[in-house]
Chains A and B, each alone.
Chain A
Amino acid sequence: MDFLKKYPSLPAFIATLLIFTLAVTFLSEAYGTGAISTSFVKTLGKTLCLALVAISMDLVWGYTGILSLGHFAFFGLGGYMIGMWLMFARTKLIVVESMAAADIPATALEIKDAVGTQIFGVVGSSDFPLVWMFAHSFWAQIALVVLVPGLLALVFGWLAFRSRVTGVYLSILTQAMTLALSLYLFQNDSGLRGNNGLSGLQNLPGLDAVSQDAVSIWFFWASAFALLVTYLIANFVVSGKFGSVIRGIRDDEARVRFLGYSVEGFKLFVFVLTAIIAGIGGALYYPQAGIINPAEIAPIASIYLAVWVAIGGRGRIYGAVIGAGVVSLVSTYFTGGQAPNINLGFYTIKWVDWWQVLLGLSFVLVTLFAPKGIGGLFDLISGRLSPDRKGAPLGPDQGSLREEEAEQ
């Protein structure tokens, strides 16, 4: 039972996830009573993917103390990589079908040209840019889902950590990277259809006969499975000696360096690992969303990611999952127009308009008064206390935990 002692939250998490998955399955339209609509199944599946990327954010921010404002860019890149294959393969099927009606069967070149015209006609081009080199191959694009965010994180992280950019400077730098990437993708000649983005991703090639009801549940299962695996990996990473070192880096980077650890190496490993996790999350998210465009990668998305983790409770993995789940579901509730308006007599509060104000303010309040976030509630139940250090800091570094956040 060492295993469970080491990961105390694991049984509860696995049980919750399993029950949740089964419940959704048996209430879905495809495999159950139909109490949950297909679009809501998709929302839940997407939420699981957001929880996945929130875990990666928690690893990099809550455990290593790097407030990265670029992880949603990795998320988006993963989505773009899988989206290229989905779009290519499905367009090809449609083109081949439409060309089959002609007198003379089409050559491979004709098919390729027709697919190119279909996909890039919207940006006034018909040639495949170089980045679509592997779009015909499912496995190559799956590999790119991991490789592209991983390599970008590797290069960027290596440059940034090597020159010892830390704290808020690193945050601003990652934000600049995200902005540069989204601006680049907004251009038509980026080869990824500019601001049109990639669309029609919900239709899996060759599975036209299967209804979206079933496909949405499949993706839901895949997301749940990926979340589970990520949760295990994250727990594994933060529990052993490695976890101790990265927490040390968070609280006092200089001291860890003087102890002889390669701080840059540890940071780089976490940064790249989390970028890859984010990329995989994106690859699962965007087929459920159906469309991806550069606006998804805008810097503000990455800040929201930090918001979820902070509200859920940083520095604990289940906190990230709770934060992402709660904020995105509540956000769906309020912005979807389901929340009742509040009539004040002189003014009617429409939640569609005021939800973001509420989110912003609640975020300020959480930062100021509840740095443990929602995850802190579990400490109340289990009776764990924070250390009383009479205001002395836990560590001099900017990412280190606050007195109220840490466990005794």
Chain B
Amino acid sequence: MTATSLVRLIAFLLLAAFITMPQGFAFLFEPLIAPGAPAIYNQGSLLVLTLQHLRTVCLATIASTVLAVALGIFVTRPSGAEFLPLSRSLVNIGQTFPPIAVLAIAVPLVGFGEKPTFIALFLYGLLPIFENTLTGLTQVSPLALEAARGMGMNARQRLVQVELPLALPVILAGIRLSVIISLGTATIGSTVAAKGLGEVIIAGLQSNNIAFVLQGGLVVALLAVLIHDGLGLVERVAARKLGRFLNEVP
């Protein structure tokens, strides 16, 4: 076992221990708080909030992945080529929208709660995935496509058996970026009453309790680091498989 994977394992165990039995860590947070104030978040279960946070992020990422990949495939086909220049500019413009603005504009349209958070995460998550799908699909070597055509593959077979596998590592990188941005943005969702770890942070800001802010922030940060690492691993596996595939078919 390498040093980094040991660190990861320890981080994961710490996180799991903290969200399941936070009272065991109370002694760490006691020096930070005013006498008499609770040291550990006491308005709900950290485990439930973490799961709700992950659920929102997960659902939003799945929805943005499906739409972004489908759109990416569409604009790189001959029938969708007319949309390619526009979609490139839209991705650039879309990324200048701050996530908080998206969230704030969604609230008046759909009300408070999970919905505006989901919409903001979904819309904001589209951009990195769409951009990477475009990059991945457009950088597939024309030689590989020519070879596939020569083997008698039709357009659909070329897409599923050649283009998508070759673009997969880049698409996965986009999904990873999108998840990490969403994890942080979802905490802001708690300002519009979405369930999640942001609640802990906001409760801390409101009652001037630094221990709460630290707990919420640390759990989100640890989640982000672990998920970032985990998805990075998936990407490397995909790239390695691809490497083997390329070696087998020179």
To the question of whether A and B form a pair in one complex, the answer is: no
